[in-house]
């Protein structure tokens, strides 16, 4: 039972550890995605502003310098943050994307330093290839950051539906932002250079078509299906509607003016400033999605961390309880049982001096100790009886030996007496034989004397 509980707690703690790892990975990727979006958003504007300033004939204006400095002050820390955060997670093509990003950041840093110096000089003093190198470096950085963001998003895809949705909103907002609106689109420039008679209102809907598709996707992600319940969707619909009106309102007015053959009254710089401002809702949408992703992943990480701490605490507490129970059981049951077992073996081997104790206890251990004491008493009584029996047997053997000794001595005496009697009998027989011979000799002598006496007259 204890093993099952420990296995359950270990499995639960391991699951919490896995959720903590996943939440930490999602948190890092949300931070990296936020930095990447901030860097990419500012890089696009930085690229256009720097290229226009370097291609211009005049020295950089103070307002342009201020804006450009703001862009670079935002993008450079964001790119370094992306590089640092990306190094802590695993994602596809990391071995190629991360070194490329680091290398491109260093290249851009060098070009930015050169561009600051070049923009403060007349155009003739600027290196001709600087604009191209700067633009190519920024383009390469944008591609690398875009690929890295895609791979980072794929690394946590399907781990959490909320994070997936928030990162999808960010990606759709970037698609809106990534459409070349920071400078007059080629189609719009071609449209404006057409003769007034060749301009048609039908072309009005071709230019913003892709952004409209992305905005519809963003609306769907934020607000759900249009046929669904309208409750709870007001904020997302309002924000996407605001984004649509800001992104397209100015363009439609300019296009209407171009169709009518009217003067646009707008320079390229003014177009860029207005377009970037109109795209602030897309940027705001992405930033809000990323902020929510960071907040959500931080909450998930905190929740997983609390769950892990709770599970580990429960596991440690249960292990401590189990170990304490084992110690108590060992002292209260296992050790006395081993002592009683060893005492029984000693008693069985004949050592009756064993005293195991525990007989005062009122539980099973006390009953076993009492049984051992009874067994020992019976063994002592048996040994006493056996000793007495041995003593009786020893006495009987001593008496038997004495009797046998007496019998042996009597037999020896009888044999000696009989031997003496035999010897005396033999002597008496010899004497008898001698007396018989004497008697016979006497009788013969008497007969001879008788015969002699008879012949005498």
Label residue 229 by pLDDT band (50, 70, 90).
very low
> Tokens 């309102």 sit at which residue?
249
Residue 215 predicted with pLDDT over 70: no
* Cβ neighbourhood burial of 128 (10 Å; 0-12, 13-18, 19+): exposed
Q: What is the largest CA-CA distance in the chain?
A: 237
Residue, of 202 and 427, whose pLDDT is higher: 427
Q: What's the whole-model pTM score?
A: 0.59
Torsion of CA 41, 42, 43, 47, to 10 degrees: 120
* Range of weakest confidence among 68-72, 96-100, 401-405: 401-405
Residue, of 82 and 182, whose pLDDT is higher: 82
> Tokens 């709770």 sit at which residue?
310
For the record, the structure tokens of 249 come out as 């309102």
Work out the angle at residue 275's Cα, subtended by the Cα atoms of residues 78 and 259, and round it to the nearest 5 degrees: 155
Residue, of 37 and 195, whose pLDDT is higher: 37
Residue 72 predicted with pLDDT over 80: yes
Give the pLDDT of residue 111.
Answer: 92
Residue 246 predicted with pLDDT over 60: no
Query: Which region, left, alpha or beta, applies to residue 224 given φ > 0 means left and ψ of -120 to 50 means alpha?
Result: left
Residue 188 predicted with pLDDT over 60: no
What is the average pLDDT across 213-230?
44
Residue 116: how many CA atoms within 13 Å on its side-chain side?
A: 11
């Amino acid at each position: 039972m204890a093993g099952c509980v420990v296995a359950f707690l270990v499995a639960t703690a391991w699951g919490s550890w896995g959720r903590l790892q996943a939440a930490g990975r999602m948190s890092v990727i949300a931070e990296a995605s936020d930095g990447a979006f901030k860097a990419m958003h500012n890089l696009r504007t930085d690229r256009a502003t720097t290229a226009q300033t370097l291609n211009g004939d005049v020295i950089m204006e103070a307002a342009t310098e201020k804006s450009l400095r703001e862009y670079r002050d935002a993008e450079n820390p964001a790119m370094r943050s992306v590089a640092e955060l990306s190094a802590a997670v695993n994602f596809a093509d990391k071995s190629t994307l991360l070194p490329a990003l680091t290398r491109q950041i260093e290249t851009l840093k060098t070009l930015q330093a050169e561009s600051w110096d070049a923009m403060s000089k007349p155009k003739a003093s600027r290196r001709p290839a600087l604009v191209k190198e700067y633009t190519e470096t920024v383009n390469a950085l944008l591609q690398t950051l875009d690929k890295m963001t895609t791979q980072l998003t794929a690394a946590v895809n399907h781990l959490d539906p909320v994070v997936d949705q928030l990162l999808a909103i960010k990606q759709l907002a970037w698609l809106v932002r990534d459409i070349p609106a920071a400078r007059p689109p080629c189609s719009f420039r071609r449209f404006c250079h057409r003769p007034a008679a060749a301009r048609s209102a039908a072309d009005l809907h071709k230019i913003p078509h892709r952004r409209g598709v992305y905005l519809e996707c963003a609306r769907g992600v934020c607000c759900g299906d249009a046929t669904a319940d309208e409750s709870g969707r007001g904020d997302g619909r309002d924000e996407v509607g605001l984004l649509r009106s800001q992104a397209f309102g100015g363009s439609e007015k300019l296009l209407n003016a171009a169709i009518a053959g009217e003067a646009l009254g707008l320079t390229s710089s003014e177009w860029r400033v207005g377009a970037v401002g109109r795209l602030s809702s897309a940027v705001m949408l992405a930033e809000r999605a990323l902020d929510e992703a960071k907040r959500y992943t931080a909450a998930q990480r905190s929740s997983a961390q609390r769950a892990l701490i709770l599970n580990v605490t429960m596991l440690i507490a249960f292990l401590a309880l189990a170990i304490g129970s084992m110690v108590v059981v060992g002292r209260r049951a296992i050790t006395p049982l081993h002592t009683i077992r060893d005492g029984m073996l000693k008693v069985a081997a004949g050592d009756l001096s064993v005293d195991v104790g525990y007989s005062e206890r009122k539980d099973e251990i006390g009953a076993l100790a009492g049984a051992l004491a009874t067994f020992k008493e019976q063994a002592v009584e048996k040994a006493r009886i056996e000793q007495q029996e041995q003593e009786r047997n020893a006495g009987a053997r001593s008496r038997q030996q004495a009797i046998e000794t007496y019998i042996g001595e009597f037999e020896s005496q009888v044999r000696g007496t009989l031997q003496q009697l035999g010897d005396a009998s033999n002597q008496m027989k010899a004497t008898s034989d001698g007396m018989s011979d004497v008697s016979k000799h006497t009788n013969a002598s008497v007969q001879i004397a008788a015969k002699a006496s008879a012949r005498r007259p």
